[in-house]
Chains A and B, each alone.
Chain A
Amino acid sequence: MYRYNEFDDAFLAARNAQFRAQVQRRIDGSLTEDEFKPLRLMNGLYLQLHAYMLRVAIPYGTLSSDQMRQLALIADKFDKGYGHFTTRQNIQYNWPKLPEVPDILDALAEVKLHAIQTSGNTIRNVTADHFAGAAADEIADPRPVAELIRQWSTDHPEFQFLPRKFKIAITGSPNDRAVTRAHDIGLRMVERDGEAGFEVIVGGGLGRTPVVGKVIRDFLPRADLLPYLEAVVSAYNTLGRRDNKYKARIKITVNENGIDAVRDQVEARFNELRPLFKGVDQELLAQIEAHFAAPEFAPRDEAPYALAYANDPVFRSWADTNLAAHKAPGHAIVSISLKAQGQTPGDATSDQMRLLADLADRYGHGELRISHEQNVILPHVHKSDLPALHAALKPAGLATANIGLISDIIACPGMDYCALATARSIPVAQQIAERFDALKLEHDIGPLKIKISGCINACGHHHVGHIGILGLDRAGVENYQITLGGDGTEDAVIGQRTGPGFAYDEIVDAIERIIRAYLELREDPGETFLAAYRRLGAEPFKAALYPEAAKKNAA
């Protein structure tokens, strides 16, 4: 894990002192609310429906056990004893008081955490594959590069007042778990003729205008990364629209100017910027890489795992869904679900956080990860420790065997918390999870991603859900539209709308009709929902969703 040096510590202390002064100046009136707003946003502080909300960065999704314990302490001391993990590898506290926020930031700084640029029209917290450094299918660990980007983007003088927010994601694996094609810039680590570099994707995004990102450079040599990123963001700062916030993201800039014109401008600016980076950034990267050296994976007897797997069906079910392939023999990546059926997706209590930290120390080299799917990951666990880990998770409500299944739902905070929301999303997620749990169909249905957004801004990523649900307001009544066939992986696809939406009390039944149609139509249990949808198209699912219309057509 990255260890702060004196520079990082001094920077963070100075930054927190600046924000403490800004809060004071807002209170004494020398900053207007208009002027204070972008300053608090670039320090992670939102004004929500009921209170302020503080969004804390978990850089590239990596946490140490000590950092997790501090997050728990902050939840207890300054909030209501829990935190909410988001779809961009952040944790949100929903009830901080403004005068206390500088103290929270100081408490975060004690463990080298911060809330810098988790909001505002600036470069946001860089996200990465949550299995980084552990996955069997990885080409290279993307986290050192992500840390370099964090340092480059932090307090970048040119990019604190961009036309709109700017999100960067990076993956080091060909199987894209970081949704790089739905980011303003997506980076995929690739190799060409033995040379390491990046495929650079630009202009992806969800929101009210979902767009799959386009390749702007198919191979960027590794040492060119920072000047190239700077060229893209600088060109965007010049070209991006400022007359309409709904048309201000780089995806619109690319659509309106064309990818070729944007590329020309980026390349011209890159040629100016490249000579200014004289290699010290690459030396720094080499130092950062040393911080991310993998722990020592000692070989041990795997018999306890095999025994539990053979004899304990509950453990077996959990192991089948919640483990992923690790690069080291005898080890596994453990996803711990924060989606217990009926609970709020992504919420963790302070007790749960402390338990997770302790278990990371005991079984996982003190490391944790937060996924954009709002779950917690222990990236390095030896298989022989899995039965004990599972047993420790169970009493804390953390042993739900549903990773990648129908109840592992991404949901935005929705109308329960968010000032922008037009409908509830959390209760819809809870009811879907409970319905299929009661029907005992979850494991039979198999891999399925449901994603729910409570407004058109699409924080719940519904466009890339295999089943997407978008909650809208229709003349004061909640109405839920369904999209099908979305996919957030390397084959990114935006889901297609099925037709008219459903009322709050109809949406769970509607989802069940889609699922029953799938179970009927699939070739065999090995054909996933997404595969069946791609084979069959939308029609049979629409027929199941709108039986009245289907009857009319048949007549």
Chain B
Amino acid sequence: MSVIVTDIGFRADDFDGDIIPLAEAAEAAVSVELAPDADPQALVGRLTALKLIAINFPSFADGRGFTIARQLRRMGYQGRLRARGHVISDQYAMARRSGFDEVEISAEQAARQPETEWMFRADWQNHDYQARLRKD
């Protein structure tokens, strides 16, 4: 069982539906998973219909998912955006600031990096140089 991390801590996955890799997903699918080398432009025209997009992190050292998340938000995607895979608690603030709503980690990862470690970075809106440089 995987664990979902949000600003209020750990919880079980409450998303009702299958999250299917984009290449295998039907045009009408409402929840898809993107590989780290995916081109978000492939989703042009489908963004309003999508309820959840998960972006896969094969390794925490592979930061492409952060760029994809920000691209999707700039394209106007307003649905649920999930970072999924090998993400560590130290990256939680980066994930939230890049536009992710939540992180999905394995039970093993959750055991090794318990909820308190993730909550330590739930203050991701504080101390944010980017927000200062872009505010209205």
Residues in A lying within 8 Å of B, measured CB to CB: 7, 10-11, 14-15, 18, 21-22, 25, 29-31, 35, 38-39, 121, 151-152, 154-162, 226, 234, 237-238, 242, 272-273, 276-278, 280-281, 284
Q: A154–B93 Cα gap in the complex (Å)? A: 13
Chain A residues contacting B77 (CB-CB under 8 Å) are: none
Given contacts A121-B63, A154-B129, A281-B134, 12 further A-B pairs with CB under 8 A are: A10-B127, A18-B121, A30-B114, A157-B66, A159-B66, A160-B63, A160-B91, A161-B61, A226-B133, A278-B136, A280-B132, A280-B134
Question: Shortest Cβ distance from B86 into chain A, in angstroms?
Answer: 9
Selected A-B contacts with CB under 8 Å, 12 pairs: A14-B126, A22-B90, A29-B112, A31-B113, A35-B90, A156-B130, A157-B95, A157-B97, A157-B130, A161-B61, A234-B70, A278-B135
Q: Are B61 and A38 in contact (CB under 8 A)?
A: yes
Q: A10–B123 Cα gap in the complex (Å)? A: 13
Q: A439–B34 Cα gap in the complex (Å)? A: 67
The contact of A237 among B67, B88, B117, by CB within 8 Å, is B67
Chain B residues contacting A155 (CB-CB under 8 Å) are: 127-129
Interface of A (DSSP majority class): helix
Interface of B (DSSP majority class): helix
Q: A237–B136 Cα gap in the complex (Å)? A: 27
Chain A residues contacting B98 (CB-CB under 8 Å) are: 157-158
Select the residue from B112, B129, B133 with max chain A CB neighbours within 10 A.
B133
Q: A96–B135 Cα gap in the complex (Å)? A: 40
Chain B residues contacting A238 (CB-CB under 8 Å) are: 64, 67
The contact of B63 among A152, A159, A272, by CB within 8 Å, is A159
Contacting residues of chain B (52-104) with chain A, CB-CB under 8 angstroms: 60-64, 66-67, 70-71, 74, 88, 90-91, 93-95, 97-98
Given contacts A25-B117, A121-B61, A152-B129, whether A157 and B135 have CB atoms under 8 Å apart is: no
Q: Are B127 and A14 in contact (CB under 8 A)?
A: yes
Q: Are A161 and B66 in contact (CB under 8 A)?
A: yes
The contact of A35 among B60, B130, B132, by CB within 8 Å, is B60
In the complex formed, the residue of B with least CB distance to A273 is B74
In the complex formed, the residue of B with least CB distance to A17 is B120
Q: Are A151 and B127 in contact (CB under 8 A)?
A: no
Question: Shortest Cβ distance from B36 into chain A, in angstroms?
Answer: 9
Given contacts A15-B127, A21-B120, A278-B134, whether A158 and B60 have CB atoms under 8 Å apart is: no
Chain A residues contacting B88 (CB-CB under 8 Å) are: 31, 35
Per-position binary interface string of chain B over residues 103-124, scored 1 when its CB falls under 8 Å from any chain A CB and 0 otherwise: 0000000001110010011000
Question: Shortest Cβ distance from A275 into chain B, in angstroms?
Answer: 10
Q: A20–B65 Cα gap in the complex (Å)? A: 27
Q: Are A151 and B129 in contact (CB under 8 A)?
A: yes
Q: Are B133 and A158 in contact (CB under 8 A)?
A: no
Question: Shortest Cβ distance from B91 into chain A, in angstroms?
Answer: 8
In the complex formed, the residue of B with least CB distance to A226 is B133
Q: A161–B112 Cα gap in the complex (Å)? A: 22
Question: Shortest Cβ distance from B92 into chain A, in angstroms?
Answer: 10
Chain B residues contacting A154 (CB-CB under 8 Å) are: 129
Given contacts A38-B61, A157-B97, A277-B134, whether A11 and B112 have CB atoms under 8 Å apart is: no
Q: A284–B98 Cα gap in the complex (Å)? A: 23
The contact of A158 among B61, B63, B114, B120, by CB within 8 Å, is B63
Q: A238–B36 Cα gap in the complex (Å)? A: 9
The contact of A281 among B60, B71, B133, by CB within 8 Å, is B133
Q: Are B133 and A151 in contact (CB under 8 A)?
A: yes
In the complex formed, the residue of A with least CB distance to B97 is A157
Chain A residues contacting B127 (CB-CB under 8 Å) are: 7, 10-11, 14-15, 155
Q: Are B67 and A242 in contact (CB under 8 A)?
A: no
Q: Are B129 and A11 in contact (CB under 8 A)?
A: yes
Q: A273–B132 Cα gap in the complex (Å)? A: 16
Q: Are B135 and A280 in contact (CB under 8 A)?
A: yes
